[in-house]
Amino acid sequence: MRSMVYRGPYKIRVEEKDIPPIEHPNDAIVRVTSAAICGSDLHLYHGMMPDTRVGMTFGHEFVGVVEQVGPSVQRLKPGDRVMVPFNVYCGSCYFCSRGLYSNCHNVNPNATAVGGIYGYSHTCGGYDGGQAEFVRVPFADVGPGLIPDWLDEEDAVLLTDALPTGYFGAQLGDIAEGDTVVVFGAGPVGLFAAKSAWLMGAGRVIVIDHLEYRLAKARTFAHAETCNFVEYEDIVVHLKKETDYLGADVVIDAVGAEADGNFLQHVSSAKLKLQGGSPVALNWAIDSVRKGGTVSVVGAYGPIFSAVKFGDAMNKGLTLRMNQCPVKRQWPRLLEHIRNGYLKPSDIVTHRIPLEHIAEGYHIFSAKLDDCIKPLVVPHPA
Amino acid sequence: MAELPTPYTAGKPALKESTETLRARIPGWGADLDPKDRPAHPREQPGIETGAHWDFPERQEEKWPRERSVEHAFVTPVFGTSTPLKGASGIIRRYAYKYSEGRAAHWLLLVAADRVDAWEHHLRSFATLRPDNPITETGVLSEFSRHGMGSRFGKKRADLGHQWIDPVVVGAPWALAAGGLAVVVLRSIRKEHAR
């Protein structure tokens, strides 16, 4: 099969690989029909995530058709169209049985601090991902869901991570009616977080980024006010002034490890790999939220230490909430919102890249060329 | 006295827009106002239906000794089989797994192994019919077809200050390797001539 393969930092290519076999009785093999490149794939692509091995196939956002199932699979059969959450999880461990699917303890021998994620280094379990023609899907009775007939395939791909994670970011903020919500990052997750904040009754939503074309999308797609932090000497002071010196009630970090805005922080983490992530957005979040407020973190960070302004968080009495999203718990409500017309996830898709051209797709997304917001990867373009 | 900013007195700031205006302007505004309507609420729900029909999953066959975190009691019943440990990077990685996730040595050794791994594979690729090609594998030619200049300049982007480092990070080791190889070849040609 044709498959995206990592060759070292900033380098990928398409190679021929064996179709993955059934390795566990509850496995399924899925033929991928659409996948996506996620902002967090860029952390792997840039060589930031420890134990990212040459030869691995990335891709944790994908949908497809069940090709084969293991002997214990009861809920899926060959031919079913499925969307697969980015979490690999067992459904039965201490954490899964309480709904913490992203924190599963039975799928990742390499680390206890993180669950299993498709195509996301050995630190996340060593599973090949879905930027390929076929992918192994463990625990087929637990993770994947049937794609409803009425749902567009591109909307379904975005339900495997970006939309649920954005919604989850807003949810972690415990937004109350009339709250002022600031979202750092106008990428896919930030756009969905901003949109979701309104569903939860926010009174004001302000999105911060440095890419004008993404801020324009935040205004039209997410109905948000926007600020380009490059235009202000100090974005924290600007946000204080915007909120009558109170600070925002809730701030969402939808940027994560490669945040811009501070040269030293960015270079020491993204280029020199000396930090788990550049905490610029997180530090701005801590400083711009009001005392007693909530900072929600859904931007991804690596496991190495980061220079976070923890003292300010403590002294301000903040609530810090964060996790990888337990995707499948979000689906029923998000499907309702899509059906009601409140959400149209595929509106943020800007590029559809054939698998054979995925190296260009990664470069376009990484270098933010061509007004790229969300690139999809299509193994077999029509 | 001029009106004091919000945090200096007890009052809440007035809403910028009324809830009626927000509801009219934004599709679905307030649909999930009640936390009970939010899907992963409460965060922990003991006994949640997951689809699992086992108490502990059957164990996947371990076809090679699988490295694991020392914070785990055993190799988890299911695991990824993407890329087994191999070569010098494999030795470093196996050593890294002797340290817990709480130790910097664990992660820094893994990062070092990643760099070694890349070079092991680059060198190995030169003995194949498909050597690594930094031009095609970085996708950098899309700079010409996808408005590389127009996407960057005159756009107030914060990342312009460090994007120049990327070609150095990617290209410098290749340039050094090519230079080293050229020196070796030139020296051996000179030696041949001297004879």
- The tens digit of pLDDT for each residue in A347-365 reads 999 999 999 999 999 999 9
Identify whether B96 is part of a domain: yes
Closest approach of B79 to chain A, Cα-based (Å): 5
What is the model's pLDDT at position A382?
Answer: 65
Q: Which domain holds residue B120?
A: 66-74+85-132
Same domain, A98 and A23: yes
Its domain, for residue A107, covers 2-161+328-378
Q: How far apart are CA A57 and CA A136, in angstroms?
A: 12
The token pair that represents A330 in the structure block: 């979000």
Each residue of A133-149: pLDDT tens digit? 999 999 999 999 999 99
What are the angstrom distances between the C-alpha of A191 and each of A95, A166, A216, B41, B66? 29, 7, 11, 22, 40
Q: Do A53 and B83 touch (CB under 8 A)?
A: yes
Please give the ipTM for the structure prediction. Answer: 0.96
Any A CB within 8 A of B36 CB: no
Per the CB < 8 A criterion, the answer to whether A64 and A33 are in contact is yes
Question: Which of A284, A302, A322 finishes a domain?
Answer: A322
Does residue B99 belong to any structural domain of this protein? Answer: yes
SS3 (DSSP) at B168: helix
Report pLDDT for B108. 96
Structure confidence by residue, pLDDT tens digits, A179-218: 999 999 999 999 999 999 999 999 999 999 999 999 999 9
What pLDDT score was predicted for residue A112? 98
At residue A116, φ and ψ (nearest 5 deg) are -100, 140
Q: Do A112 and A36 belong to one domain?
A: yes
Which range among A42-56, B5-19, B105-119 shows the weakest confidence by mean pLDDT? B5-19
- pLDDT-wise least confident of A21-35, A41-55, B13-27, B172-186: B172-186
Any domain includes B102: yes
Q: What mean pLDDT value characterizes chain A?
A: 97
Q: Is the dihedral of CA A24, A63, A135, A78 positive or negative?
A: positive
| CATH value at residue A131 | 3.90.180.10
Closest CB from A138, A245, A360 relative to B139 = A360
Q: What letter represents residue A262's amino acid? A: N
- Position A334 scores a pLDDT of 98
Q: Are B75 and A130 in contact (CB under 8 A)?
A: no
User: What are A181's two structure tokens?
Assistant: 């919500």
Tell the residue number behind the tokens 């023609």, with chain if given. Answer: A133
Confidence of residue A380 (pLDDT cuts 50, 70, 90): confident
Separation of CA B124 from chain center = 24
Note the pLDDT tens digit of each residue in B92-137: 999 999 999 999 999 999 999 999 999 999 999 999 999 999 999 9
Asked if A155 and A175 sit in the same domain, the reply is no
Is residue B40 predicted with pLDDT exceeding 90? no
Q: What's the confidence (pLDDT) of residue B167?
A: 85
Count up the domains in chain B and report the number: 1
Average pLDDT of the residues in A14-23: 98
Same domain, yes or no: A118 and A86: yes
Please list every residue in chain B whose beta carbon sits closer than 8 Å to the beta carbon of residue A229: 158
Query: Nearest CA of chain A to the CA of B12: how many Å?
Result: 10
Closest B-chain CA to A75: B51
Is residue B30 domain-resident? no
Structure tokens at A359: 């190296």
Please measure the distance between the N-terminal and C-terminal CA atoms of chain A and give it in whole angstroms: 18
Average pLDDT, chain B: 94
Residues A218 and A203 in one domain: yes
Amino acid (one-letter) located at A175: I
Domains held by chain A: number: 2
Are A16 and A145 within one domain?
Answer: yes
Same domain, A204 and A101: no
The pLDDT confidence band at residue B1, using thresholds 50, 70 and 90, is low
Helix (H, G, I), strand (E, B) or coil at A63: strand
Q: Is residue B95 part of a domain?
A: yes
- For residues A338 and A150, the answer to whether their CB atoms sit within 8 Å is no
A113 in the same domain as A77: yes
| Nearest chain A residue (CA) to B86 | A53
Give the mean pLDDT of A63-91: 98
Task: Compute the average pLDDT of residues A247-272.
Answer: 94
Whether B48 is covered by a domain: the verdict is no
| B27/A200 Cβ within 8 A | no
Is B98 domain-assigned? yes
Q: Residue A210's domain is classified under what CATH number?
A: 3.40.50.720
C-alpha distance from A55 to closest chain B C-alpha (Å): 6
Q: State mean pLDDT over A55-60.
A: 98
Helix (H, G, I), strand (E, B), or coil: what is residue B124? helix
Same domain, A289 and A345: no
Strand positions, DSSP E, chain A: 2-8, 11-16, 28-36, 61-69, 81-84, 87-88, 116-117, 134-137, 145-146, 180-184, 204-209, 225-228, 248-253, 289-297, 319-322, 349-354, 374-378
- pTM greater than 0.90 (yes/no): yes
pLDDT tens digit string along A80-114? 999 999 999 999 999 999 999 999 999 999 999 99
Q: What is the pLDDT of residue B114?
A: 97
Convert B48-59 to b/e letters by CB count within 10 Å (16 or more is b). Answer: eebbbebeebee
Contact in structure between A132 and A59 (CB atoms under 8 Å): yes
Structure tokens at A109: 């021998």
- Residues of chain B found within 8 Å of residue A74, distances taken between Cβ atoms: 53
Q: Are A239 and A153 within one domain?
A: no
Answer yes or no: do A178 and B159 touch at CB < 8 A.
Answer: no
**Contact in structure between A308 and A278 (CB atoms under 8 Å):** no
The proportion of chain A whose per-residue pLDDT surpasses 70, expressed as a percent, equals 100
Q: What is the pLDDT of residue B168?
A: 84
Taking 70 as the threshold, does the pLDDT of residue A243 lie above it? yes
DSSP letter (8 states) at residue A118? B
Query: Is A350 found in the same domain as A210?
Result: no
Tell me, what's the pLDDT at A56?
A: 98
Are A171 and A240 part of one and the same domain? yes
| Predicted confidence band of residue B173 (pLDDT cuts 50, 70, 90) | confident
Q: Identify whether B114 is part of a domain.
A: yes
